[in-house]
């Protein structure tokens, strides 16, 4: 199998609409490289000549962008409406293209009758099992690979709260990936010949989330849970990509014996009010497409690359960002100070990235009373700067706990930097601190990201009294009163 494409063709979306189409087509080059190159499509546009001819000329695979989701397939509990999905299949067959199916289980794009009806776990389990079976059998022999389940793990590596998991779920709530395993088993029974994929966002490079997915796939393979592939969505919201660790992630997944498909590739760039982008951004965008294509070509386990749509005319990007997406390109969002009692959704990081286009979110444990920002490392631990001497106090009596091993209690610090007499601070936060070396290599004390206020824990009641405060307060008042007199 040849695994090289000429550099010029790596610029996917933009090459297609260049005045003089590159020759040979992307599809021809993909074929000689032994690669599937696909696009997500909307059946409505298949009757548009430019759309149809570009699609069939440049791609050898298609996926229904929305036409095989519950929202389209299931107008009500009793009906299956395959018309839109069938239109995609027909187009693909007429043009000798492979078909990916997307997606059988997801917490989005579900009809209201399903989400609003307060079904019990038993009813949901029956509905989902039946849906997987009916849909896969309808497309058996046509859809060669299915995204069985989409986006089931959240940013923190936990199984994402969802209709199918725990709201109320299919009866495997709070049992971790057991419900994911269940849907893969149902899928294999429904169509033993289709390749079964787990599809996910923001886990393309090496990071905590991709570690969790890797561990899940490894466990599934060891226990014989039927899984054949991992789909890396690859929506690039800002002009940067970690292609080195993308390669490493593809390689480690492939080593488990699963295929990797890049399933939803797109690279957002900011545009002005006329819809025009800066030439430098377009060039950078091309480099990013190129590096991703190379990461796939260099790994035999990566067998398909697919873009999420192929023309800006019908891209989902604008519709989902209300025009703001990408505007904060190359910016940094820094967190700090805590949520102060506000309830934020579990996937807030994803939502912030999605809306603003910001790629980097730097988490910090900050208090306005001290002179350090205490950033989070790549292992999700807040590290104190070297001039901050942290203590963990026993919440019952305020005594410092030993500064060794792991300690849970009230966070307090000495700050060596301010040129004042006052450099200590006792916080209202319950923290879990470690005084051991962190997995990132740093030797400074570090905290778990889950920090809770004692006042939230104790219904607003958290009074911190410092020994010296009473006296200091009186002295300050006397001093000021004397000045006023």
Contact footprint for ligand XIL (CB under 6 A):
65-66, 109, 150, 233, 264, 316
Q: Give burial (CB, 10 Å; 0-12/13-18/19+) of 120.
A: exposed
User: Distance between CA atoms of 350 and 202, rounded to whole angstroms?
Assistant: 8
Closer to ligand XIL at the Cβ: 28 or 66? 66
Contact 26, 58 (CB under 8 A): yes
At closest approach, how far in Å is the CB of 66 from ligand XIL? Answer: 5
The three-class DSSP label of residue 423 is coil
CB–CB of 93/46 below 8 Å?
A: no
The residue among 107 and 456 lying less far from ligand XIL, judged by its C-beta, is 107
3-state helix, strand, coil in the chain (%, to 5): 35, 20, 45
Q: Which of 145, 179, 97, 132 is nearest to 263 (CA)?
A: 145
Q: Are strands 452-453 and 235-236 parallel, antiparallel or unpaired?
A: unpaired
- Looking at beta carbons only, is 75 or 192 nearer to ligand XIL? 75
C-beta of 65 vs 154, nearer to ligand XIL = 65
Cβ of residue 304: shortest distance to ligand XIL, in angstroms?
Answer: 15
Active site residue 264: yes
Give the active site residue among 58, 63, 65, 151: 151
Write phi, then psi, for 38 (nearest 5 degrees).
-125, 175
Task: Count Cβ atoms within 10 A of the Cβ of residue 240 and give its class: 0-12 exposed, 13-18 middle, 19 or more buried.
Answer: middle
CB count within 10 Å of CB 300 equals 15
* Per-residue buried b or exposed e for 152-166, using 16+ beta carbons within 10 Å of the residue's own CB: bbbbebebbebbbbb
Q: Which of 264, 349, 354, 430 is the catalytic position?
A: 264
Q: Tell me how far apart the alpha carbons of residues 165 and 179 are, in angstroms, rounded to a whole number.
A: 7
Calculate the CA dihedral of residues 372, 376, 377, 382 and round it to 10 degrees.
80
Least distance between ligand XIL and beta carbon 71 (Å): 8
For ligand XIL, the closer of residues 63 and 181 by Cβ is 63
The least distance separating ligand XIL from the CB of residue 109, rounded to whole angstroms, comes to: 6
Q: Please, which residue, 152 or 372, has the CB nearer to ligand XIL?
A: 152
CB 319 within 8 A of CB 276: no
385 noted as active-site residue:
no
* Residue 136 vs 372, nearer CB to ligand XIL: 136
* Least separation in angstroms between CB 204 and ligand XIL: 13
Measure CA 263 to chain center. 14
**CB of residue 201 vs ligand XIL: minimum separation in angstroms?**
6
Find the residue with minimal CB distance to ligand XIL: 316
Minimum gap (Å) between residue 101 Cβ and ligand XIL: 12
Residue 13: alpha-carbon gap to chain centroid: 23
Asked whether 198 and 217 are in contact (CB, 8 A), the reply is: yes
Please say which residue, 238 or 388, places its beta carbon nearer to ligand XIL: 238
56's CB contacts (< 8 A; 6+ apart) are: 91, 95, 97
Q: How far is CA 35 from each of CA 29, 204, 293, rounded to the nearest angstrom?
A: 9, 19, 10
Query: CB of residue 233 vs ligand XIL: minimum separation in angstroms?
Result: 6
Residues belonging to the active site: 151, 264
């Amino acid at each position: 199998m040849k695994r090289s494409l000429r550099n010029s063709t790596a610029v996917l979306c933009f090459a297609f609409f260049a005045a003089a189409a590159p020759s040979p087509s992307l599809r021809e080059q993909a074929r000689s490289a032994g690669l599937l190159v696909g696009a997500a499509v909307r059946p409505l546009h298949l009757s548009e000549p430019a759309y149809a001819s570009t699609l069939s000329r440049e791609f050898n695979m298609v996926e229904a962008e929305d036409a095989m989701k519950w929202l389209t397939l299931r107008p009500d509990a009793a009906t299956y409406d395959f018309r839109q999905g069938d239109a995609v299949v027909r187009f693909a067959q007429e043009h000798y293209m492979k078909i990916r199916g997307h997606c059988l289980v997801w917490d989005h794009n579900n009809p209201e009758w399903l989400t609003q009806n307060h079904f019990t776990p038993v009813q949901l389990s029956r509905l989902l099992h039946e849906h997987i079976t009916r849909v896969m059998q309808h497309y058996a022999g046509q859809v060669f690979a299915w995204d069985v389940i989409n986006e089931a793990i959240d940013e923190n590596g936990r199984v994402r709260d969802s209709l199918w998991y725990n709201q109320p779920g299919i009866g495997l709530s709070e049992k971790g990936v057991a419900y994911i395993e269940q849907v893969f088993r149902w899928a294999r029974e429904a169509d033993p010949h289709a390749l079964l994929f787990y599809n996910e966002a923001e886990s393309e490079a090496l990071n905590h989330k991709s570690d969790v997915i890797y561990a899940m796939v490894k466990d599934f393979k060891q226990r014989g849970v039927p899984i054949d592939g991992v789909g890396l969505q690859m929506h690039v919201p800002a002009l940067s990509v970690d292609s080195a660790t993308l390669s490493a992630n593809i390689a480690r997944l492939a080593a488990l014996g699963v295929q990797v498909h890049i399933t939803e590739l797109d690279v957002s760039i900011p545009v002005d009010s006329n819809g025009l982008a800066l030439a430098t951004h377009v060039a950078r965008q091309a480099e990013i497409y190129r590096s991703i294509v190379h990461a796939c070509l260099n790994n035999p386990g990566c067998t398909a690359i697919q873009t999420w749509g192929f023309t800006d005319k019908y891209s989902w990007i604008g519709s989902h960002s209300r025009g703001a997406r990408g505007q904060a390109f190359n910016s940094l969002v820094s967190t700090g100070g805590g949520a102060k009692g506000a309830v934020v959704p579990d996937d807030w990081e994803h939502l912030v990235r999605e809306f603003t286009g910001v790629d980097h979110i730097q988490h910090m444990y900050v208090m306005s009373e001290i002179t350090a920002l205490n950033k989070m490392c790549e292992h999700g631990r807040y590290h104190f700067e070297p001039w901050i001497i942290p203590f963990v106090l026993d919440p019952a009596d305020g005594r410092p706990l030993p500064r060794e091993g792991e300690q849970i209690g009230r966070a307090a610090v000495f700050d060596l930097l301010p040129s004042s007499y006052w450099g200590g601070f006792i916080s209202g936060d319950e923290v879990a601190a470690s005084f051991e070396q962190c997995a990132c290599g740093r030797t400074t004390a570090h905290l778990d990201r889950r920090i809770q206020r004692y006042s939230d824990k104790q219904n607003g009641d958290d009074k911190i009294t410092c020994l010296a405060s009473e006296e200091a307060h009186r002295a300050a008042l006397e001093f000021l009163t004397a000045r006023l007199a």
